[in-house]
Amino acid sequence: KQEVTQIPAALSVPEGENLVLNCSFTDSAIYNLQWFRQDPGKGLTSLLLIQSSQREQTSGRLNASLDKSSGRSTLYIAASQPGDSATYLCAGPDSNYQLIWGAGTKLIIKP
């Protein structure tokens, strides 16, 4: 059964720093992995989707990697800005094609 874990649960960094958010999953046969952003009380905004055949995806200041052998994905945020403050969630489908979610990392960027 697929399980997804995100560490740390919360992270606070000064503006301008580069940072890495971590996502671990137990089933290495994962088909893909998706990173989302969630602002308080708001919806889920898709940031990046990495297919199982890919190792990286980039969108602007965001770069996501996927290492199936180690069961890990990372989301790299370059030159962080206060507007990046949000909760970041990762999710991947299990064998029944249902998305299994991590609990998220709450990111605070201090001006």
Which spans of this chain sit near other proteins (rule: CB under 8 A)? 31-32, 34, 36, 41-46, 49, 51, 89, 91, 93, 96-104
Tell me, what DSSP letter sits at residue 32? E
**In the bound complex, what is the minimum distance in angstroms from residue 101's beta carbon to other proteins?**
4
**Closer residue to other proteins (CB): 41 or 60:** 41
**Closer residue to other proteins (CB): 84 or 102:** 102
**In the bound complex, what is the minimum distance in angstroms from residue 16's beta carbon to other proteins?**
29
- As a whole number of angstroms, the distance between CA 10 and CA 104 comes to 8
- As a whole number of angstroms, the distance between CA 46 and CA 58 comes to 13
CA-closest candidate to residue 108, choices 7, 8, 12, 9: 12
**In the bound complex, what is the minimum distance in angstroms from residue 96's beta carbon to other proteins?**
5
The SS3 call for residue 84 is helix
